[in-house]
Amino acid sequence: MTNPYGQQPFGQQPYGQQQPQQPGYGPPSGGMPAPGYGPPSGAVPAPYGQPAPYGQPAPYGQPYGQPGFGGPGMGGDIPDYKTWAIISIFFGGIFGIIAIFKSNEVGQYKMQGNYAAAEQASRTTKTLCIIGNVLGGLGCLAGLIIFIAGMASY
């Protein structure tokens, strides 16, 4: 079947004919190695994530610091009292355990952007830590008094 336009279909040659070699394609002749890719010319761009130099503000529309963890009005100033809650386990027992759960809620609410709930959970964590530490301190004081009274009567 012949082409009505007089052209051969792409990639097909009549039997026995060779396609002429175009210059610049294929392996180099003369035994010389092909030129490789060299270093880029011009200025080298900065890698992604590199901070702006000191003294220059952040680009427009981008907050300073990570979202949800810093900056004014971003919930970065809401404390979670996690360390105090962990210490309260040893003094306040169940109050310390509940305080740890509330402390974790503070972080979750801040990540979600619910700063009102994070503030409430932070206040509850602080209250539980205070109650647990006061009760634990009173228990230690009572135990010390009983120990001293027992030693004095012996």
Shortest CA distance to 119 belongs to which of 89, 84, 75? Answer: 75
For residue 108, the one-letter residue type is Q
Tokens for 127?
């209250």
Q: How many CB atoms lie within 10 A of CB 139?
A: 13
Task: Name every residue whose Cβ is closer than 8 Å to that of residue 4 and which is 6 or more positions away in sequence.
Answer: none
Residue pLDDT, tens place only, 111-132: 998 999 999 999 999 999 999 9
pLDDT of amino acid 68: 47
Supply the range of the domain harboring residue 130: 82-153
Please indicate, yes or no, if residue 38 is contained in any of the structural domains: no
At CA 101, angle to CA 103 and CA 114, rounded to 5?
A: 55
Q: How many domains does the chain have?
A: 1
Please indicate, yes or no, if residue 148 is contained in any of the structural domains: yes
Alpha helices in the chain (DSSP H): 82-92, 94-112, 115-153
Please indicate, yes or no, if residue 135 is contained in any of the structural domains: yes
Residue pLDDT, tens place only, 4-60: 666 666 666 666 555 555 555 555 555 555 556 666 666 665 556 655 566 665 555
Please indicate, yes or no, if residue 8 is contained in any of the structural domains: no
CA 138 to each of CA 33, 143, 147: distance values in angstroms, whole numbers, following the listed order = 86, 8, 14
Please indicate, yes or no, if residue 90 is contained in any of the structural domains: yes
Please indicate, yes or no, if residue 24 is contained in any of the structural domains: no
Please indicate, yes or no, if residue 98 is contained in any of the structural domains: yes
